[in-house]
Amino acid sequence: MSNNIVQFNEEIIKGQIKELVRGSVEETLNELLEAEAQKLTQAARYERSEARQGYRSGHYDRKLTTTSGDVTLHVPRLKGISFETAIIERYRRRESSVEEALIEMYLAGVSVRRVEDITEALWGSKVSASTISELNKKAYVNIEAWRNRPLQGGKYPYVYVDGIYLKRNWGGEYENVAVLVAIAVNEDGYREVLGAAEGMKEDKASWVSFFQWLRKRGLDGVKLIVGDKCMGMLEAVEEVFPEAKYQRCTVHFYRNVFSVVPKSKVKNVAKMLKAIHAQESKKAARDKAKAVIAELRAMKLPEAAKKVEAGIEETLTYCDFPSEHWTKIRTNNVIERLNREIRRRTRVVGAFPDGNSALMLVCARLRHVAGTQWGCKKYMNMKRLEALEQQPARRWQRMSDKVLDTAVGILAGAVITGLAMLAVQYIK
């Protein structure tokens, strides 16, 4: 019975059909090329005609990727006339669109292996890893130009900084290298990626160099720098931006306190710390901090109490700014989200062959994110900050007016008194 059953090899049939379609496409395209050449020369191949505009000079082959697979085009060579075909032009457009798509996929965080699979599904053949690498090198030129672009957002009152560590090859050994990242909120209330640079490690020299580079590119009007507590960074802020205040990220502060708290008590301690930064004023927050410190000591957590006592003040700088901005300037969450995007992409790569490739991939990711809604959506209403800055001037004006009114009153009284005395003397 089984001998009478007809069996088909599905894979072989699919392959044969695909090859048949590919061959048909190839044949059709080459016939179209010949027709275009004949139309341009106004004569068929080997035909003698007075109307002929040019002469044939053989062919050259060119590959064209189609959804049916790669086909070979036999492009006619012409003498006395240029051969410009719509087919080749479409090929060029396709080539360009494929290149752009590959770069976009890479910047969006798609792995090289996945890019190969996607290109095979879309265009009928895989794009090799070497091709992807070459396209990325071309993209690096544009990325480097973007990284060093002049900052044209005006003033940047709020700046967020952080360092992210990646593995790179150094003298044949792999070690961690810090990539310093800075973003800001400009005077119009929009977030902007300021830049990234390789810092080797988060020491003072690296941060000073980074801040000076940002300043040369146009970073100005900085009022607050938000970041984790890093002595090198703090010293660099004092040197490069002496007019700016420093806000220690409250989330990093909490983590530092949790490091000396038993796991069973972390949840309760977290509520206590959050209560400090939920107060309506700096004075109230300080008073709450004193109560929390006392409670931590009562809970027999002296190390946690010491950390809170030593570091609480630098976490309250945000209170000097508009209350509407507090939740967005007391943490480094806005840059931590970007760091997660960077880590998601860099995890695919693993260890980098050099520092430049690591920096370029980080910048590529930052550039991609900056071009999305992230950088186009208003983040803060900066009129609140303007109004707060004008308050001291208004108070001074009111004080000046009072002093002037008082002085005028005293002067007027003295004049009247003097006139009265003169009048009395005159009457006598």
Q: What is the DSSP string of 356-372?
A: HHHHHHHHHHHHHHHTS
Dump pLDDT digits (tens) for 11-52.
666 666 677 767 777 787 888 888 888 777 777 766 777 677
Of the residues 144, 174, 206, which one is the last residue of a structural domain? 144
Binning pLDDT at 50, 70 and 90, where does residue 10 land?
Answer: low
Of the residues 87, 114, 144, which one is the last residue of a structural domain? 144
* Cα gap 339→345, rounded to integer Å: 10
Same domain, 178 and 109: no
What angle (nearest 5°) sits at the alpha carbon of residue 126, between those of residues 143 and 27?
120
List Cβ neighbours of 91 (8 Å cut-off, separation of 6 or more). 62, 64, 73
Q: Quick check: 224 and 158 in contact, CB under 8 A?
A: yes
Looking at the domain assignment, is residue 405 inside a domain?
Answer: no
Task: Provide the b/e sequence for 285-319 (b: ≥16 CB within 10 Å).
Answer: beebbeebbeebeebebeebbebbeeebeebbbbb
Dump pLDDT digits (tens) for 45-80.
667 776 777 777 788 887 776 656 778 888 888 776
Same domain, 64 and 130: yes
Amino acid at site 196: A
Same domain, 358 and 210: yes
* Cα gap 395→144, rounded to integer Å: 48
Query: Smallest Cα–Cα separation from 224: which of 277, 282, 157, 283?
Result: 157
Least confident of 159-163, 258-262, 382-386: 382-386
Highest averaged pLDDT of the listed ranges 92-106, 121-135, 265-279, 353-367: 265-279
How do strand 173-185 and strand 245-248 relate by DSSP bridges? Answer: unpaired
pLDDT at residue 1 tops 70: no
Q: Give the torsion through C-alpha atoms of 363, 364, 370, 374, to 10 deg.
A: -110
Looking at the domain assignment, is residue 224 inside a domain?
Answer: yes
* Cα gap 309→313, rounded to integer Å: 8
Which one has a higher pLDDT value, 293 or 87?
Answer: 293
Domain count of the fold of the chain: 2
Same domain, 172 and 64: no
Mean pLDDT of 130-154: 80
Q: Rg of the chain's alpha carbons, rounded to an integer?
A: 36
* Cα gap 279→271, rounded to integer Å: 13
Q: What DSSP line would sit under 178-208, residue for residue?
A: EEEEEEEE-TTSBEEEEEEEEEESSSHHHHH
pLDDT at residue 82 tops 70: no
Looking at the domain assignment, is residue 286 inside a domain?
Answer: yes
Which residues share a beta bridge with 332? none
Which one has a higher pLDDT value, 132 or 32?
Answer: 32
Same domain, 131 and 168: no
Same domain, 160 and 221: yes
Of the residues 125, 144, 163, which one is the last residue of a structural domain? 144
Same domain, 35 and 137: yes
* Cα gap 109→127, rounded to integer Å: 17
**Residue % of the chain over a pLDDT of 90:** 36
Q: Quick check: 213 and 296 in contact, CB under 8 A?
A: no
What's the pTM value of the predicted model, to 2 decimals?
0.66
Mean pLDDT over all residues of the chain? Answer: 80
Same domain, 190 and 135: no
Same domain, 131 and 221: no
Whole-number pLDDT of residue 309: 96
At 317, list the tokens: 């700088």
Mean pLDDT of 386-412: 60
* Cα gap 219→163, rounded to integer Å: 19
* Cα gap 294→329, rounded to integer Å: 27
Which residues span the domain enclosing 363? 152-376
Mean pLDDT of 211-231: 93
Same domain, 183 and 286: yes
pLDDT at residue 93 tops 80: no
Looking at the domain assignment, is residue 234 inside a domain?
Answer: yes
Dump pLDDT digits (tens) for 317-364.
999 999 999 999 999 998 888 888 888 777 766 777 666 777 887 888
Mean pLDDT of 356-380: 81
Least confident of 66-80, 235-249, 308-322, 407-421: 407-421
Whole-number pLDDT of residue 118: 72
Query: Other CB atoms closer than 10 Å to residue 225's CB: what's the count?
Result: 23
Q: Quick check: 109 and 80 in contact, CB under 8 A?
A: no
pLDDT at residue 125 tops 90: no
Looking at the domain assignment, is residue 422 inside a domain?
Answer: no
Looking at the domain assignment, is residue 415 inside a domain?
Answer: no
* Cα gap 168→359, rounded to integer Å: 10
Q: Quick check: 158 and 221 in contact, CB under 8 A?
A: no
Whole-number pLDDT of residue 270: 96
**Residue % of the chain over a pLDDT of 70:** 72
Same domain, 49 and 190: no
* Cα gap 40→86, rounded to integer Å: 13
Looking at the domain assignment, is residue 427 inside a domain?
Answer: no
Binning pLDDT at 50, 70 and 90, where does residue 416 land?
Answer: low
* Cα gap 341→181, rounded to integer Å: 13
Same domain, 114 and 190: no
Looking at the domain assignment, is residue 95 inside a domain?
Answer: yes
* Cα gap 50→42, rounded to integer Å: 9
Q: Quick check: 235 and 251 in contact, CB under 8 A?
A: no
* Cα gap 281→312, rounded to integer Å: 14
